[in-house]
Amino acid sequence: MQKKRVLITRRLPAEAEARANRDYEIVQNEDDHQMTADEIIEKAADVDAIMITITDKMPKAVVDRIPEHIKILSTYSIGFDHIDLKAAADRGIKVGNAPHGVTLATAEIAMLLLLGAARRAGEGERMLRSKSWPGWAPLQLVGQRLDGKKLGIFGFGKIGRALAKMAGAFDMEIHYHDIARAKPEDENGATYHETLDSLLGVSQFFSINAPATDQTRYFFNKDAISKMPEGAIVVNTARGDLVNDEDMIAALKSGRLGAAGLDVFNGEPKINEGYYNLPNTFLLPHLGSAAIEARNQMGFEALDNIDAAFAGKDMPFKLN
């Protein structure tokens, strides 16, 4: 039996690629460049399914150009704000994501950002790499400990709950807000806030773990910052467009925010220039899921969707 042909828009880790090549004839992006929409549509002409990533934008104008015979689209990501799901549904295209592989890896990066921002790790590394460290001094790069501090988590899904567990081991006091209260066994002692404003008001540390929606985009702005304790520290491992960059940068410059740890940015990889010279920022290049275990599992989950769809079954991680 001839294998189905699947277009995969970026290179995957070895184990995920091995499974893909075992089960399908793969049309691959050999040099792993960022494909344009035109390239994807051109290469899709003679395949049976497409696997994309978060950097492959699929608005209605692109979805409508997908060849008529293709009814399977799987994204190698937990997020799906890069896909117009309604346009896909209108075309009869099944869409799935890869929601579980990223959980622990992203929570680990959020924890790293909390520690790095609080303990001024970015400033310390820059001092060493520029060969400007004068040696130990009592007041040099003094930050703050995490224990006993209130951590507000906005978005208490799998990643938010995993972060809560990790931060709890550092004796942080966990608070959270989500559209619905979690089950008691998932709260694990965390304090629920019915409103985001209430959560902001207690958050000495604040972690953004919410999805990007019409309701959440740019929510973290001057108004939100004004409701937080003076000198609060914020970290973001969710999406860059949840933050108003100009308001964040102004608050970091003035000291209204004490520090920020950021792994995602609006418009990445071209980020707001204002971040580069801020000493009180700990910046990472979207490393949230960049653990080999996570990236392989993401590939497996994206392939699970394709397997199921070809078998005439519901995708295990379907979005529409």
Same-domain status, 24 and 74? yes
Same-domain status, 247 and 135? yes
Query: Which domain range does residue 226 map to?
Result: 103-283
What pLDDT is stored for residue 98 in this prediction? 97
| Selected catalytic residue, list 5, 181, 217, 286 | 286
Q: Is residue 320 part of a domain?
A: no
C-beta separation of 34 from 11 below 8 A: no
What pLDDT is stored for residue 92 in this prediction? 97
C-beta separation of 149 from 173 below 8 A: yes
Same-domain status, 264 and 117? yes
Same-domain status, 21 and 115? no
Same-domain status, 49 and 107? no
Same-domain status, 246 and 155? yes
Same-domain status, 10 and 57? yes
What's 66's domain CATH number? 3.40.50.720
| Selected catalytic residue, list 120, 193, 239, 295 | 239
| Selected catalytic residue, list 268, 273, 295, 301 | 268
The answer to whether 177 is a known catalytic residue is: no
Residuewise pLDDT in 10s, the chain (320 residues): 799 999 999 999 999 999 999 999 999 999 999 999 999 999 999 999 999 999 999 999 999 999 999 999 999 999 999 999 999 999 999 999 999 999 999 999 999 999 999 999 999 999 999 999 999 999 999 999 999 999 999 999 999 999 999 999 999 999 999 999 999 999 999 999 999 999 999 999 999 999 999 999 999 999 999 999 999 999 999 999 999 999 999 999 999 999 999 999 999 999 999 999 999 999 999 999 999 999 999 999 999 999 999 999 999 999 99
Whether pTM > 0.75 for this model: the answer is yes
Q: Is residue 318 part of a domain?
A: no
Same-domain status, 27 and 175? no
Cα–Cα dist 98/221, whole Å: 30
Q: Is residue 315 part of a domain?
A: no
The answer to whether 286 is a known catalytic residue is: yes
How many domains are there within the chain? 2
